[in-house]
Amino acid sequence: MRHLLLPLLLLLCISMIIGITGASINGIGGVKTPAFSPGDIAGLQLWLKADEGTLDNSDAAITTDNTAVKTWSDQSGNSNDAVQASAANQMVWRDGSNGINGLPAVENIAGGNLFLTGSTQLFSNSVSVFAVVQQDVTTGSQAFFNLGTTYPNAFVVYTSQFYSTPRYGMQAAGGFSNNDVTVTTDPTLLSVIANTSPGNPVIANTNYRVNSSTISLQYAFYGSLNYPTYSASTFQIGNNGLNGRIGEIIVYNTQLSSGDRDDVEAYLTNKWGL
């Protein structure tokens, strides 16, 4: 009997610890810490997720499908909220049945855009951007994240049509695109990690992934091959050409390590069913 009591007491102690801390058991391996959050990694500047923090024109939380979005509240703790006060240019909130893989999304259907009006620069010398998106069409130029400066002083994650072929691309003191991966209307995870210091060649200092697979960038059109010095105080979510949905955007002001990048991508992949 004594040999049976000891294991039972051990299991009881583990259950009490789980009940107090909120931890979970991972098979036989024992107790693990609570689920990963993007805020666990240093340098988080912006975290927009459509399942939390969308407000209507009365500043009330949105719960009804196809409601215009005035504010998309930043969940990073930095109050870098995205705001569009003009009703004519507001995106709309879509519930799970009309969002991305059963989760809510913010959709652009009228050629409007949602942008930040605050005064905080999100990054200067390094950046890591993650975006869960789903395009309704693959034609045209569709931007998901834009450090709100004008060309060539811009940093934009987008898709566009080059030589009649839709491509994943970015803009940073010049345009760069990929011709190896087909742009589709499926839910997609984009991640870009770059050294944005002035004087650093764009391609050599940028790693671009689509659904966690690295893609190659090629020089697409005129512009300097070096990053500019960023001095803008705004960023923009979406653009007039966007015809699709955005589920989540995460921005760090650092170049994440491969392990941290994998953690963020795993979080987004699991959450969005990608």
pTM of the model: 0.84
Contacts from 153-159 at CB under 8 Å and sequence distance 24+? 153/228, 153/229, 153/230, 153/231, 153/232, 155/127, 155/194, 155/196, 155/230, 157/129, 157/131, 157/190, 157/192, 158/239, 159/135, 159/183
Q: Same domain, yes or no, for 11 and 124?
A: no
Q: What is the 3-state secondary structure (H, E, C) of 237-252?
A: ECCCCCCEEEEEEEEE
Alpha helices in the chain (DSSP H): 2-21, 258-272
Q: Same domain, yes or no, for 12 and 48?
A: no
Q: Same domain, yes or no, for 23 and 144?
A: no
Confidence (pLDDT) at 171: 76
Confidence (pLDDT) at 19: 44
Q: Same domain, yes or no, for 207 and 74?
A: yes
Confidence (pLDDT) at 152: 61
> Which amino acid, one-letter code, is at 74?
D
Q: Same domain, yes or no, for 227 and 148?
A: yes
Q: Same domain, yes or no, for 166 and 249?
A: yes
Confidence (pLDDT) at 226: 63
Q: How many CA atoms lie within 13 A of 204 on its CB side?
A: 7
Q: Same domain, yes or no, for 223 and 115?
A: yes
Q: How many CA atoms lie within 13 A of 241 on its CB side?
A: 13
Q: Same domain, yes or no, for 81 and 210?
A: yes
Q: What is the CATH number of the domain that holds 66?
A: 2.60.120.200
Q: What domain range is 13 assigned to?
A: 2-32
Q: Same domain, yes or no, for 53 and 119?
A: yes
Q: Tens of pLDDT along the chain (274 residues)?
A: 445 444 444 444 444 444 434 444 443 444 445 688 999 999 999 999 999 999 999 999 999 999 999 999 999 999 999 999 988 889 999 999 999 999 999 999 756 677 777 667 788 888 999 999 999 988 888 889 888 666 666 788 888 877 677 888 877 766 777 877 888 999 999 999 988 877 777 777 889 999 999 988 877 654 555 666 666 667 888 887 888 999 999 999 999 999 999 999 999 999 999 9
Q: How many domains does the chain have?
A: 2
Confidence (pLDDT) at 150: 64
Q: Same domain, yes or no, for 260 and 141?
A: yes
Q: Which residues contact 197 (CB under 8 A, 6 or more apart)?
A: 125, 126, 227
Confidence (pLDDT) at 111: 63
Q: Same domain, yes or no, for 81 and 172?
A: yes
Q: Same domain, yes or no, for 10 and 109?
A: no
